[in-house]
Homo-oligomer: A and B are copies of this chain.
Protein backbone atom coordinates (compact mmCIF):
# COMPACT_ATOMS: atom_id res chain seq x y z
CA UNK A 1 0.00 0.00 0.00
CA UNK A 2 1.15 3.53 -0.71
CA UNK A 3 1.39 5.58 2.43
CA UNK A 4 1.62 8.95 0.76
CA UNK A 5 0.75 10.58 -2.51
CA UNK A 6 4.08 11.28 -4.09
CA UNK A 7 3.50 11.06 -7.82
CA UNK A 8 5.51 9.51 -10.63
CA UNK A 9 5.83 12.16 -13.32
CA UNK A 10 7.29 11.95 -16.79
CA UNK A 11 8.70 15.29 -17.89
CA UNK A 12 10.16 15.17 -21.38
CA UNK A 13 10.34 16.89 -24.76
CA UNK A 14 9.34 15.25 -28.01
CA UNK A 15 8.89 16.22 -31.62
CA UNK A 16 5.37 16.33 -33.04
CA UNK A 17 6.03 12.92 -34.56
CA UNK A 18 6.88 11.55 -31.14
CA UNK A 19 10.67 11.29 -31.12
CA UNK A 20 12.73 12.19 -28.08
CA UNK A 21 15.98 12.00 -30.06
CA UNK A 22 17.11 11.65 -33.62
CA UNK A 23 19.21 8.63 -34.61
CA UNK A 24 22.52 8.47 -32.74
CA UNK A 25 20.98 10.21 -29.70
CA UNK A 26 21.04 13.55 -31.51
CA UNK A 27 19.12 16.07 -29.37
CA UNK A 28 19.97 19.08 -31.49
CA UNK A 29 16.28 19.64 -32.29
CA UNK A 30 15.85 20.96 -28.77
CA UNK A 31 17.86 23.99 -29.78
CA UNK A 32 14.87 25.03 -31.90
CA UNK A 33 13.14 26.15 -28.71
CA UNK A 34 16.10 27.44 -26.70
CA UNK A 35 15.46 30.95 -25.47
CA UNK A 36 17.36 32.97 -22.90
CA UNK A 37 15.42 33.12 -19.65
CA UNK A 38 12.78 30.56 -20.68
CA UNK A 39 12.97 27.12 -19.09
CA UNK A 40 9.42 25.99 -19.93
CA UNK A 41 8.62 25.40 -16.29
CA UNK A 42 11.57 23.07 -15.68
CA UNK A 43 12.85 24.72 -12.51
CA UNK A 44 9.34 25.03 -11.08
CA UNK A 45 8.82 21.34 -11.82
CA UNK A 46 12.17 20.22 -10.42
CA UNK A 47 11.31 21.88 -7.10
CA UNK A 48 8.36 19.49 -6.73
CA UNK A 49 10.52 16.36 -6.93
CA UNK A 50 13.18 14.92 -4.67
CA UNK A 51 14.00 11.86 -6.74
CA UNK A 52 15.00 11.30 -10.37
CA UNK A 53 14.76 7.96 -12.10
CA UNK A 54 16.34 7.40 -15.47
CA UNK A 55 17.66 4.63 -17.65
CA UNK A 56 21.31 3.73 -17.92
CA UNK A 57 21.69 4.68 -21.58
CA UNK A 58 20.26 8.12 -20.92
CA UNK A 59 22.49 8.53 -17.89
CA UNK A 60 25.61 7.56 -19.81
CA UNK A 61 24.64 9.89 -22.62
CA UNK A 62 24.24 12.85 -20.27
CA UNK A 63 27.56 12.07 -18.57
CA UNK A 64 29.25 11.84 -21.95
CA UNK A 65 27.83 15.21 -23.00
CA UNK A 66 28.08 17.11 -19.73
CA UNK A 67 30.99 15.40 -17.96
CA UNK A 68 28.80 14.55 -14.99
CA UNK A 69 25.14 14.07 -14.25
CA UNK A 70 23.45 17.19 -12.83
CA UNK A 71 21.57 15.85 -9.81
CA UNK A 72 20.13 19.21 -8.71
CA UNK A 73 20.63 17.90 -5.18
CA UNK A 74 18.09 15.13 -5.76
CA UNK A 75 18.42 11.43 -5.16
CA UNK A 76 19.05 9.82 -8.54
CA UNK A 77 18.35 6.21 -9.46
CA UNK A 78 19.85 4.88 -12.66
CA UNK A 79 18.09 1.70 -13.76
CA UNK A 80 20.70 -0.64 -15.15
CA UNK A 81 21.44 -4.32 -15.63
CA UNK A 82 25.01 -3.89 -14.47
CA UNK A 83 25.80 -2.98 -10.86
CA UNK A 84 28.01 0.03 -10.19
CA UNK A 85 29.01 1.59 -6.89
CA UNK A 86 27.02 4.69 -5.89
CA UNK A 87 28.39 8.04 -6.99
CA UNK A 88 27.42 10.68 -4.44
CA UNK A 89 23.63 10.72 -4.43
CA UNK A 90 23.46 8.68 -7.65
CA UNK A 91 22.54 5.04 -7.15
CA UNK A 92 22.62 2.31 -9.77
CA UNK A 93 19.58 0.09 -9.44
CA UNK A 94 19.68 -3.39 -10.94
CA UNK A 95 16.15 -4.48 -10.07
CA UNK A 96 13.05 -3.94 -12.15
CA UNK A 97 11.73 -0.39 -12.62
CA UNK A 98 8.39 -1.38 -11.11
CA UNK A 99 10.07 -2.68 -7.95
CA UNK A 100 11.99 0.57 -7.63
CA UNK A 101 8.84 2.66 -8.08
CA UNK A 102 6.96 0.55 -5.53
CA UNK A 103 9.78 1.00 -3.04
CA UNK A 104 9.94 4.75 -3.61
CA UNK A 105 6.21 5.15 -3.31
CA UNK A 106 6.19 3.23 -0.04
CA UNK A 107 8.39 5.94 1.43
CA UNK A 108 7.31 9.50 2.12
CA UNK A 109 8.76 12.16 -0.12
CA UNK A 110 8.22 14.61 -2.92
CA UNK A 111 7.30 13.62 -6.45
CA UNK A 112 9.41 11.29 -8.57
CA UNK A 113 10.77 12.57 -11.88
CA UNK A 114 11.00 10.05 -14.70
CA UNK A 115 13.76 11.52 -16.86
CA UNK A 116 13.78 8.95 -19.71
CA UNK A 117 14.79 7.26 -21.83
CA UNK A 118 12.22 5.49 -23.92
CA UNK A 119 13.06 2.03 -22.60
CA UNK A 120 12.42 3.03 -18.98
CA UNK A 121 9.31 5.02 -19.89
CA UNK A 122 7.76 2.10 -21.73
CA UNK A 123 8.70 -0.36 -19.03
CA UNK A 124 6.80 1.82 -16.55
CA UNK A 125 3.88 2.32 -18.93
CA UNK A 126 3.60 -1.45 -19.19
CA UNK A 127 2.55 -1.42 -15.54
CA UNK A 128 0.62 1.90 -15.67
CA UNK A 129 3.14 3.38 -13.24
CA UNK A 130 3.42 6.83 -14.79
CA UNK A 131 0.85 8.98 -13.05
CA UNK A 132 1.46 12.29 -14.77
CA UNK A 133 2.84 13.22 -18.17
CA UNK A 134 4.33 16.62 -18.93
CA UNK A 135 5.28 16.55 -22.58
CA UNK A 136 6.78 19.52 -24.38
CA UNK A 137 5.91 19.19 -28.05
CA UNK A 138 8.65 20.72 -30.17
CA UNK A 139 7.42 22.16 -33.49
CA UNK A 140 9.27 19.84 -35.80
CA UNK A 141 8.84 16.51 -37.56
CA UNK A 142 12.09 14.62 -37.12
CA UNK A 143 11.15 11.74 -39.40
CA UNK A 144 12.99 9.14 -37.37
CA UNK A 145 14.86 8.42 -34.17
CA UNK A 146 13.94 7.15 -30.74
CA UNK A 147 10.18 7.07 -30.18
CA UNK A 148 8.90 8.22 -26.80
CA UNK A 149 6.08 5.70 -26.91
CA UNK A 150 6.63 2.22 -28.23
CA UNK A 151 3.91 -0.25 -29.13
CA UNK A 152 2.79 -3.00 -26.79
CA UNK A 153 1.59 -0.98 -23.81
CA UNK A 154 -1.87 -1.30 -22.30
CA UNK A 155 -4.39 1.34 -23.28
CA UNK A 156 -4.44 4.17 -20.74
CA UNK A 157 -6.96 6.95 -20.54
CA UNK A 158 -5.64 10.34 -19.59
CA UNK A 159 -7.06 13.50 -18.11
CA UNK A 160 -5.74 16.79 -19.47
CA UNK A 161 -4.60 19.00 -16.60
CA UNK A 162 -3.11 21.86 -18.60
CA UNK A 163 -1.99 22.87 -22.04
CA UNK A 164 0.41 25.76 -22.30
CA UNK A 165 1.47 27.42 -25.51
CA UNK A 166 4.74 29.33 -25.82
CA UNK A 167 5.50 32.00 -28.39
CA UNK A 168 8.27 30.00 -29.98
CA UNK A 169 5.78 27.28 -30.87
CA UNK A 170 6.36 24.82 -28.07
CA UNK A 171 3.18 23.33 -26.59
CA UNK A 172 3.43 21.76 -23.17
CA UNK A 173 0.79 19.11 -22.54
CA UNK A 174 0.13 18.01 -18.97
CA UNK A 175 -1.97 14.91 -18.34
CA UNK A 176 -2.62 12.61 -15.47
CA UNK A 177 -3.60 8.99 -15.66
CA UNK A 178 -7.39 8.92 -15.50
CA UNK A 179 -9.11 7.15 -12.65
CA UNK A 180 -11.02 4.80 -14.93
CA UNK A 181 -8.04 2.76 -16.08
Contact = CB atoms under 8 A, between A and B. Distances in A.
Contacts of A151: 143-145
A153 B141 contact: yes
A92 interface: no
B32 A149 contact: no
Interface stretch (A44-52, A69-77, A93-101, A155-163): A155-163
Interface residues of A, number: 37
B160 A139 contact: yes
Nearest to A144: B151
Interface string A1-43: 0000000000000001110001000000100100000000000
A175 B153 CA distance: 28
A127 to B, nearest CB: 12
A114 interface: no
With most chain B CB atoms within 10 A of its CB, the pick from A17, A141, A155, A175 is A141
Nearest to A14: B18
Given A18-B17, A173-B16, A140 B155 contact: yes
A152 interface: yes
Interface in A139-181: 139-145, 148-149, 151-160, 163, 165, 169-171, 173, 175, 178
B142 A155 contact: yes
A59 to B, nearest CB: 24
Contact of A141 (B139, B145, B155, B173): B155
